Amino acid sequence: MPLTPVPELITAARPGGLGAFNVITLEHAEAIATGAEAADRPAVLQISEHTVKYHGSLAPLALACLRIAADSTAPLTVHLDHATSFELITAAAELGIPSVMYDGSTLDYAANVAATKDIATWCHARGIFLEAELGEVGGKDGAHAPGARTDPAEAADFVAATTVDALAVAVGSSHAMHTRTAELDNDLITRLSAKVPVPLVLHGSSGVPDTGLRAAIDHGMTKINLATRLNIQATNAIRNTLTQDATLSDPRKYLTPARTAIQSEVTHLLHLLAP
């Protein structure tokens, strides 16, 4: 089926949350699509700026994701995540990626507003959904340093000034956590949801236990970004396969169980995020 616009995916997921999963390899993209099909749930395939740098360019992986999403029987789309440059956003638009996140979180507030507003105007003129971030999210001693939280009034002002379509907020999660010990501030999520008129996005969701993710959705979180949990499952599968056969050299023999592990985790998570 054709790519599904993000607002339609959000509607299809409600009253549950929309799962958004980071793609690093082709196997990730294939597994996310098949995992969504097995769960019969909408999902987002995300490519981060770090992954673009790893591959050397956006186009090869992005084009593969676009085709996989379009060919899937599940409602899917492709999203560019944590882009810090306008050049990368324009490259995504030229490839047909319909959703991007501009990350101006390292800028001061005024500069972030100015840059995000300009990019929002550019994206909306081309029908592109824009997510943004107020303050640094997770693992970088920014908004997700201990005790740091997004202020609801400031978040509402930011959205009004920039006209973004979704906002990543800091409520207690952190990027790249290998332990699932993050405790979210559900009261803050409720207050943000009441104050901010666009969908809220939870980054760093892999460090949140299942019960915490369900509670976050129940309190008003909309889009749930997950990456590390998939990578842990894939790596464990590869490690186990190679340990069992030290002579194994065919990548297909150890990437197949990795892909299956990602698919199973995606299906589990999408069921978890369902109403």
Catalytic site positions: 81
Backbone angles phi, psi at 200, to 5 degrees: -95, 140
Q: Tell me which residue of 5, 258, 212, 18 sits closest to 126, measured CA to CA.
A: 5
Q: Which stretches of 75-161 are assigned E, i.e. beta strand? A: 76-83, 99-102, 129-133
Q: Are 23 and 212 in contact (CB under 8 A)?
A: no
The DSSP element (H or E) to which 216 belongs, if any, is: helix 210-218
| Residue 238 CB contacts under 8 Å (≥ 6 apart), including other chains | 254, 255, 257, 258
In our burial notation (b when 16+ CB lie closer than 10 A, e otherwise), range 26-57 reads: ebbbbbbbbbbbbbebbbbbbbbbebbeeeee
Q: In the chain, where do the E strands start and end?
A: 18-22, 43-48, 76-83, 99-102, 129-133, 166-168, 200-202, 223-226
Asked if residues 180 and 213 have their Cβ atoms less than 8 Å apart, the reply is no
Contact 127, 142 (CB under 8 A): no
